Each structure stands twice: as C-alpha cells, then as structure tokens.
Amino acid sequence: MSFSVAHFSDLHLGPLPQGAALHDFRTKRLLGALSWHYRRKKLHDPKVADALRVDILNSKPDHIAFTGDGVNIASPKEFPLLLKWIEHFGAADFLSYIPGNHDTYVKTAYEKSLGLIEPYMRGDMRGEQQFPYVRLRRNVALIGLNSAIPRGFHSAEGRLGNAQREALRARLVELKNKGFYRLVMIHHPPAIGIATRYRSLIDAPELMAVLAEAGAELVIHGHNHRREMNWLETGASRIPLIGVPSASMASPHHPAEWNLYSITRNGGRWQTQVSMRSWLGTAQGFQTVGTFMLDEVA
C-alpha cells in the first residue's frame, strides 16, 4: 500500500499587510520590510502560491509537509493571513508545519505568531515535547523539527539544540523498532556545506551524527530556495536530503516547485518515488518535470 506526501516550503506569503513593519516595531523587521518592497515582492507571487496549493490538492496526496517560512518578517499581522491560507488545505491533521527562520525573524509573542498555527505542529505520540513532534500516518512517521531561532542583522542561521537532537535520536530508534518509515522535516539544510555560513544550521555536525547513528529514510528541507538533493553517508546506508525551491517563486530562475513522495514497502524494503512539479508559467501552470526512485539514484 502506497502513502504519498506532498512537500513544499518557503511560501513567503505576500503582500505584506499594511502597517506590518511598524506594528510591534523592531529595527530588523523594518529592514526586512524594505527588502520585501524593493526586492523580494518582485520574486514571490501570491498567485503562484495559490496555483501551487490547487495543484497539490488536485494531486490528492495522503499528507502534506510544509517546511517553514510561511511569512516574511514575523509580524503579528502576517500570521492570521498565513493561517487562512493554510486552512484551505483542510483539517490540521492533514498538513504538518514546521517553523522557518522568517517565522521567527524577530522575537514575537507566540500567541500572536506561531501559536495561531500550533494545531498543524501537534504530534500524536505520548510524552512529546513540542519539538520534535511525531505524526503517525499508517506506516509513515512524520517527524517535525524546529531549527528557527531569532537572529541578529544579516543572519538566517538556525539551531536545534541538544535537547531537541537527543529527543530526535530516541524517536528515530523507537520508530525504527516499530517498523515505521521515518520522514524528518526541518527548515534549514541538515548537513554541512549545503548552505552558506550565515544561512546554515549551526549544529549541523551534531545533527548529522544523530542521523548517522539512528538512521532515517528521508530528510526534507527548504531555506535555500532551490531544488537540491544531497546524501548523508552513514556507513550502513545513505540518507537522502531533499530540498525544494520557494513555493511562490515566479522567476524562471529556480521557479516554484513541490515534490510528491510516494512511499511503499516491497519485499521488506522501503521504496520512495519522487515526482517534481514545477511552475512553468501562467499558460502551463505546474507540470511534472522529473520522476525517479530514490533507491535507483542512491
């Protein structure tokens, strides 16, 4: 029996609400708003984002993974709009969200920001801390990590921290023993060298060690706004690390894209088919630009 997961990231939902930069004023938020108005709004088109959402729903996946950066400057005025946009997908147990660095662009009261979409970040295993959370869907375990932390000017780094990494280690071992396919969701690229210094995961080496020891079938991420496929060598196996472009990018350079992962169990082995759906312009919409099996490219 196949289980399919649609994955998209870095929505950067626009346009910025009126007064978003000055409400709950922070200097970095103001600078981010200026960057949006003079550069980023030319790249991120809400019509492309809406088309991506329709395309995903038309594909009828079993679950949806959204790996962060739903907003731009973490203004309390942005999160109600993000919640409304997400709600078009359906119930909160159908979509799993994890925060990105723009969701924590500056310190913002939780109840006015990520707290509004907490139902989409809620696990269903006993004894869980908030992150990592685990959602069990048939024979697939979706594991949500939070690498998003407020940072200073000119920094988009992330960090998991020791407590989250150790909780992840325990969950990965437990889920393997129970026979689940382990799909790990993180915003920042989870290995060394995938992102530039001030955009990287600070504790990537420690995360890589956890993954190498405990194992995982797939790790998905966003953040870099481009199609990416890397591998983590563990000795016993190779773990695929897959990133996607921004979900709202209208530019022909790394246009909006989402992936569909179709997961099956065959002869005691996990198999994952990856289908990439890319934005080819208003006339063509989203089209499949590539399909492959992970075990054939490993």
Q: How far apart are CA 87 and CA 71, in angstroms?
A: 15
Mean pLDDT for the stretch of residues 13-21: 87
- Give me the chain's average pLDDT, please: 93
What pLDDT, on a 0 to 100 scale, did the predictor assign at position 297? Answer: 56
Q: 181: number of CA atoms within 13 Å, CB side?
A: 23
What pLDDT, on a 0 to 100 scale, did the predictor assign at position 25? Answer: 65
What pLDDT, on a 0 to 100 scale, did the predictor assign at position 296? Answer: 60
Q: What is the pLDDT of residues 75-89, one digit of tens each?
A: 999 999 999 999 999
What pLDDT, on a 0 to 100 scale, did the predictor assign at position 153? Answer: 74
Helices (H) and strands (E) in the chain, counts: 6, 12
Mean pLDDT for the stretch of residues 270-274: 96
Helix (H, G, I), strand (E, B) or coil at 220: strand
Instruction: Quote the tokens at residue 197.
Output: 């210094």
Helix (H, G, I), strand (E, B) or coil at 81: helix
More confident: 59 or 32: 59
Q: How far apart are CA 264 and CA 33, in angstroms?
A: 44
- Structure letter (DSSP) for residue 16: P
Would you say residue 59 has pLDDT above 60? yes
What pLDDT, on a 0 to 100 scale, did the predictor assign at position 53? Answer: 98
Integer Rg of the chain from CA: 18
Mean pLDDT for the stretch of residues 84-105: 97
> CB under 8 Å to 22, separation ≥6 — which residues?
30
Q: What is the pLDDT of residues 196-230, one digit of tens each?
A: 888 999 999 999 999 999 999 999 999 999 999 99
Q: Report the candidate in 21, 184, 27, 206 with the shortest Cα–Cα distance to residue 96.
A: 184
**188, 159 contact by CB (below 8 A):** no
Mean pLDDT for the stretch of residues 94-103: 97
Q: Taking the C-alpha atoms of 101, 104, 107 and 112 in order, what is their torsion angle to the nearest 10 degrees?
A: 170
What pLDDT, on a 0 to 100 scale, did the predictor assign at position 198? Answer: 86
Would you say residue 40 has pLDDT above 80? yes
Would you say residue 24 has pLDDT above 90? no
Q: How far apart are CA 215 and CA 229, in angstroms?
A: 17
Query: Which domains are assigned to the chain?
Result: 3-297 (3.60.21.10)
What pLDDT, on a 0 to 100 scale, did the predictor assign at position 90? Answer: 96
Q: How far apart are CA 211 and CA 206, in angstroms?
A: 9
pTM of this structure: 0.95
